Amino acid sequence: MMRQYFVAVVLPNDLDKKILELKQMMLDRYECRVALRSPSHITLVPPFWFNEEKESLLLKALSPILSQHSFDMFTDGFASFPPKTIFIALKKNSSLEALKDATTSLLLVNEIPGIIKETRPFVPHITIANRDLHKKSYYEAWEYFREKEFKASWKVESVCVLRHNGEKWEISGEVMLGN
């Protein structure tokens, strides 16, 4: 059976809980549900379709990531992609950029179907609200978030493969980074 997958850095549970409160606020105030359908994460490879019976091939393709070292990640307040998306911004991080490039390259080299080399610049972020945020609500919500601070840091220690189960995204596998 074909399922949608994506590859991401999933945030630690304690930080995910703090971000979940922001996502819940967006649901309560603006009826934004989409961001609640996945754990808080930084997308490395956007969604693609893949045969669920061959899922183990995804993790096998990503196993050379073990050679990448864990690293610290820092948030940098809020930002947005007008007029639909509000997110937690991240400080520029060359290790994250290298991890994104390595992840995409490994899937391309292993000829995983549906993987394409991104032409858009990599803007790593943690989504609070996106596709179902109406334009009018975006401007109101952005007024609230634009001056707020959000300071957090954590150690990136793994890359996760997430699978859509028909309702939400769930972690189907994880590859640990080296230390």
The domain segmentation of the chain, as residue ranges, is 2-176
| Separation between Cα atoms, residue 150 and residue 11, nearest integer Å | 15
| Separation between Cα atoms, residue 102 and residue 120, nearest integer Å | 17
**Per-residue pLDDT tens for 44-81?**
999 999 999 999 999 999 999 988 999 999 999 999 99
Report the topology of domain 2-176: Cyclic Phosphodiesterase; Chain: A, (3.90.1140)
Predicted structure pTM score? 0.96
Ramachandran angles phi, psi of 24, nearest 5°: -65, -40
- Tell which residue, 91, 92, 90, 110, has the closest CA to residue 102: 110
**Per-residue pLDDT tens for 89-141?**
999 999 999 999 999 999 999 999 989 888 889 999 999 999 999 999 999 99
